[in-house]
Structure 1
Amino acid sequence: MTAPEGRGAHAAPTPAAGGTGEDGLRFGYGTNGFANHRLDDALAVVAELGYAGVALTLDHDHLDPFAPGLAGRVAAVARRLDQLGLGVVVETGARYLLDPWHKHAPTLLHDDPARRIEFLRRAVRVGADLGAEAVSFWAGVRPAAVAPALAWERLIAGCATVVDAADAAGVRIGFEPEPGMLVEDIAGWRRLHSALGAPACFGVTLDIGHCRCLEPWPVPDCVHEVAAHLVNVQIDDMRRGVHEHLEFGTGEIDFPPVLGALRDVGYRGLVAVELPRHSHAAPTVAARSLDFLRAAAVAAPHERTSAAVAPHQTPPRLLCSASTDAPATPDVADTDRRVD
């Protein structure tokens, strides 16, 4: 696939005025929160509401990377994004795209990760052709039969393959720490980044809700902690110790300081709403979310007020309780409890 005219792997973000908040914050919305819409309709609604971009989850109904005619379909989406003035990041968290029986399987940690690796390679190519600001992925939950050391070896090997593909395509990777997965926090991302040799294209996707769920620092400090590597931001509300993506104002996060931190570190990528359980009311929820974020951006402090963070400190482990997907089990690391 080749990049359509006007877009490409190194294309700079193109802010849409309506979705740009105070001091250049660029708000987007995740298409996994529009699962009941056709992709073209979802893009149109997001643009009309005033968002600056989309976090596009490649899935069976939203730009399936395994369906025929991929190059043509990608080119059509790229043209539509240009017409609507939307930036884009590519997300890879589709639940049953690779296996109709097992959610998110296979991951890079399974005995045969070939289909996951091929999916991620295709995602990188799609990202390059869309001019995506980043391509995001995660580790996966360690299968019970796979020893931790072996799971780690498999993760490094799989990520190295994706890094090679991203380097060749000129695409930035945003690796997402995910509660309950093998890499679930910022400390785990740092360990993986180091094990891979600190490749320049290997950045971090930071989910603001996850910071509240399990990181040891105040949420704004998490932003500062990863600022040098931050390439993608997902935003949602959440409660401490519970991995459940909530609408803004229904969890525990104070958002003006978070948006102030993003502004302070000079982040100019998309800040995309991540509410995958809200597709039943997607237009209404998306409209509410943008109103909330705009108000929070206006109220954001103009200098950092949170406590200083010791760089590279190892966080204490905090297990998140079960999501609404499944009943609680003793070890979250061995159970897929991802709600997005």
Structure 2
Amino acid sequence: MSATRTAAPGSGLRLGYGTNGLTDLRLEDALGLLADLGYEGVGLTLDHMHLDPVGPGLAARTARVGRRLGELGLAVTVETGARYVLDPRRKHGPSLLDPDEDARTARVRLLEKAVRIAADLGAHAVHLFSGILPAGTDPGSGWKRLIEALGPVLDAADQAGVPLAIEPEPGHLLARLADFHSLREQLGDPAALGLTLDIGHCQCLEDDPPQECVRQAAPWLRHVQIEDMRRGVHEHLPFGDGEIDFPPVLDALAHSGYRGLTVVELPRHSHAGPELAAHSLRFLREQRTGGMS
């Protein structure tokens, strides 16, 4: 039987865990684990081992996952950061910045499919990112490709009533919060476009501390990812192994008005996924309670 899922007293936070950190588990087992631990939701990465978006029988598989989420009382965000789901030889390829138009279209179609899956699951957002600027491509051309490619995905999201949540990712064309605002403004500030804020990325790359990034990003937050990290090093770390001071961050999130999931993001730690899922939930609850005035 699943444990009762309650946030830390007065926290206003809804904690989830990303399935990209549980890839050694079957999806059914991963969802059961998270519910039993007391998580309120899951960041579901569409990948070959967890609700493969390009395999046969997708509608029926999605319906089964939706029923299971309902039985367990888990909320969900759909994430699209699978490494090799479209191309077995290129990590995250093709991207929305690919020089080849057909390749970019393949990514667009995947994102449109993710929007439909999210709508069927009752997800509160679809996560995505820009991709790395290809060699030989100038930034202006990269931004042009990104804006054009996002058009049909934004239309699909608007029609489905599921917002997109684009993530500033170190090393990508859209790497920082300022890049998100530039994209938003170039697109005419569409209602369907929101932000995924990764707390570790703030520590790694942004000029302001993570809690200030939360406050600045609050109006556009549609998804939040969280882990520990060190300044200048893009490595997702278990809590306590990095440099982030978490009580101010969790306090800022609790008072931001954001009510979606805050999802633990440890994609390179699946070998210890069950143990880290338990540790992460304990850590975040203790940090939030300890940080309350």
Q: Residue deviations 1:279-329, cap 9 Å, x none?
A: 001110100000000001102345xxxxxxxxxxxxxxxxxxxxxxxxxxx
Query: Which aligned pairs between 1:229-240 and structure 2 lie closer than 5 A?
Result: 229-240=220-231
Match of 2:185 in 1: 194
How far does the alpha carbon of each residue in 1:157-197 deviate from its partner, in whole angstroms, 9 at most, with x for none? 11122111101111111110000000001000000011111
Q: Does 1:216 align with 2:207?
A: yes
CA distance in structure 2 between the partners assigned to 1:119 and 1:300 by the alignment:
41
The one-letter amino acid paired with 1:20 is A
- Corresponding residue of 2:44: 56
Per the TM alignment, residue 147 of structure 1 is displaced from its structure 2 partner at its CA by 1.9
Deviating more after overlay: 16-25 vs 279-288: 16-25
Give the structure 1 partner of residue 81 of structure 2. Answer: 93
For 2:123, what is the secondary structure of its paired residue?
coil
Q: What stretches of structure 1 of length at least 5 have no aligned partner? A: 1-15, 303-340
Structure 2 CA distance for aligned equivalents of residues 46 and 109 of structure 1 = 35
Native 8 Å contact 1:26 1:271 kept in 2: yes
Q: How far, CA to CA, are the matches of 1:301 and 1:214 in structure 2?
A: 27
Q: What pairs up with 1:16-165 in 2 under 5 angstroms?
A: 17-23=4-10, 24-110=12-98, 111=100, 112-165=103-156
User: Deviation string for 1:126-170 (max 9, x for gaps)?
Assistant: 000000011000000011022211111000011122111101111
State the match for 1:273 in structure 2: 264
Number of matched pairs = 287
Matched AA of 1:269: G
Deviation at 1:256, TM superposition (A): 0.6
Identity of aligned residues (%): 57
Q: Which amino acid aligns with 1:204?
A: L
So what's the TM-score if we normalise by structure 1? 0.83
Q: Verify the 8 A CA contact 2:18 2:42 in the aligned structure 1.
A: yes
Corresponding letter in the other structure for 2:18: G
Q: Distance in 2 between matches of 1:147 and 1:301?
A: 47
| Match in the other structure for 1:12 | none
CA distance in 2 between counterparts of 1:153 and 1:22 reads 46
1:94 Cα deviation from its structure 2 partner = 0.3
Pick the structure with more helix per residue.
Answer: 2
1:256 to 227, 230, 247: 247
CA contact (8 A) 1:125 1:169 kept: yes
Q: Secondary structure at the match of 1:231?
A: strand
- 2: distance between equivalents of 1:189 and 1:147? 18
Structure 1's 19 and 283: CA in aligned 2 closer, same or farther, altered over 3 A? farther
Q: 2:257 is aligned with what amino acid?
A: G
- Asked whether the equivalents of residues 19 and 27 of structure 1 are also in contact (C-alpha less than 8 Å), the reply is no
The 8 Å contact of residues 207 and 235 in structure 1, kept in 2 or not, is answered as yes
1:205 and 2:196 correspond? yes
1:288 — aligned with what? 279
| 1:19–1:28 contact (8 Å) kept in structure 2 | no
* CA–CA distance in structure 2, aligned partners of residues 28 and 248 of structure 1: 14
